[in-house]
Structure 1
């Protein structure tokens, strides 16, 4: 069985690891030139995905890098009113700990034999058991697994469906070494995540394991072209911060102080999703994992589903080592059901965040009854 995985994200690496511990080789082809080629984003809330890490033999390593205190949460209105505060006891079980995405990816990469990941291999096309790379080069496969994320090119082998913008655009900034540079803001954010909900705008400030606070400003009911039509001068970080502060002029000054304290690293992130319940006719030699299969709003389910996809597919292939089509059908049946439920939950929470009474509804969501 020759298994080619396109994409060295969480789902693809988990698949390779679960196969490895069960005595099956796979090769992961990644377009980035090295594991350090780009940043890996912020913190992840890993809950159901812990099962996958246990199947991969990595749960102890995960618990060593997980941050239980990252489960802390504060929810405020834009005028500074505190609606909800949840502080995690020191002896609380790690049911939903936060972990730095880069640390989790490193844990997976370091668990694989040298040469499993082939860097600098950008997918171009595939058919008849031959994978072709941009710039030349080919590789054989009995099974091709698209683990190449939201804008997956492998997905086109199975479905014409593409992600659609959901009316949310995020401007992401950050404050480095916040405890030393801005201890007052560090205290306000706390050890986990501080959410602030306003009218058509939300702010999420999240503590990272490296001492950085990532600040995400979400603008709702905005179009896919909002970054070019908003009038924000994104090529000038100082002017961008000033513009964002003006947009939050009626917010509590503590929140605009967060924006003012951010450095010049600014990311623009349009939010898109795949349709809830997306499926495709089974193919004997191609399947998808992670965002390539079921891109969801970024509300805490996507990374967990990717980890579970990788483990479930790995176990299906282990159970049917001489019958790839059967393994793929078995995996996809379970994956479609599981991820449809997660995508529906994510879409409902996304709709809640975009509603006029989001603050009150979110309190009810976290404290039902």
Structure 2
């Protein structure tokens, strides 16, 4: 039986591995992190019925997902820079179009579903040969019939099939964390509600989202050079220095919104937004393929993880149902590449959308 190797233990790679194992196809996943708990997995995300949830159904994990998911997280609020509520979308009772789940919870759900030893931690990939030869940073090598690059926007697998590299969008996020929010940050709880809240003035924005466990994450969104922190004579650890710069930039905003910039717990996390060229395609290689951000990194508009999981699902099913790996990869790419190209075009320049003062159309639920 063919050997399948996935690089990257994110939602897309793990979804692919889980569905392969359900169909009796052996698979190994390698990840550069030394352990599953080596770093924080990030905030919350919505899993859509037509892709992320579809993949979980194929993985046999949809019921477990629903036990963890937060349907109330579908609530959305849009504010003006003066703090006025412009739009409020509330999900209907029983609405499960795109319930929220913490990234860490989703990853644990997928990891726990795999056979013991499937994921090999602390294995940083160095390079991939055109016929599927893997070379790791520790000097070891692995021969495999198929390498699946599920290792994100700055994939080490992608150079085996494509010369494309992610480009900086001109927009950066500063991520801020708030803990024990019901007790310590009640004003922010009132502002955000059960789901997410956004505000923008055309040049800068804020996006706050409820997480489980009494946490809220806020993304401070600005146009800025990719190295603006260093260029300002600061480091990411200089919380007070960065906060002073942000307060200056948001000086015209309401005091209620500006408190998001002053009350966060701990340091900021710098997250410049990169995206691959549009469209990103490659010449078919029966020994190497890509999924998720490795294949189609886009601005963070709620589609990335969903598409990664759908990619992983479709690739696994193709491998399970085709006579050869090469045929399976060709069938997968024949569907995935046009879909991702279409979505890349739809989201191109989407980082600018995050700064728009226009009220978005959330497309469901009650509005006020």
TM-score bracket, shorter-length normalisation: over 0.9
Whether the 8 Å contact between 1:301 and 1:346 is mirrored in structure 2 is no
- Report SS of the residue matched to 1:57: coil
Partner of 1:275: 277
**Structure 2: gaps of 5 or more residues:** none
Whether the 8 Å contact between 2:176 and 2:268 is mirrored in structure 1 is yes
Deviations 1:182-211 (A, max 9, x none): 112211111111101124100001111121
Q: TM-score, normalised by structure 1?
A: 0.94
Instruction: Map 1:1-369; keep pairs closer than 5 Å.
Output: 1-47=2-48, 48-89=51-92, 91-127=93-129, 128-220=131-223, 222-230=224-232, 234-320=236-322, 322-347=323-348, 349-354=350-355, 358-360=356-358, 362-363=359-360
Deviations 1:70-129 (A, max 9, x none): 10010011111211011223x232101111000000000000000000011111123244
Deviations 1:288-329 (A, max 9, x none): 011000000001000000000100000000111x41111001
Which moves more between the two structures, 252-261 or 26-35?
252-261
CA pair 299-189 structure 1, distance change in 2 beyond 3 A: same
Q: Structure 1: which 4+ aligned runs deviate by more than 6 Å?
A: none
Which moves more between the two structures, 133-142 or 13-22?
133-142
Whether the 8 Å contact between 2:221 and 2:354 is mirrored in structure 1 is no
Whether the 8 Å contact between 1:232 and 1:243 is mirrored in structure 2 is no
What is the CA-CA distance between 1:345 and the residue it aligns to? 2.5
**Structure 1: gaps of 5 or more residues:** none
- Report SS of the residue matched to 1:44: strand
Q: TM-score, normalised by structure 2?
A: 0.94
CA pair 230-192 structure 1, distance change in 2 beyond 3 A: farther
Whether the 8 Å contact between 2:236 and 2:267 is mirrored in structure 1 is no
Whether the 8 Å contact between 2:89 and 2:362 is mirrored in structure 1 is no
Whether the 8 Å contact between 2:53 and 2:62 is mirrored in structure 1 is yes
Deviations 1:242-266 (A, max 9, x none): 3322221111101111221101131
What is the CA-CA distance between 1:223 and the residue it aligns to? 2.5
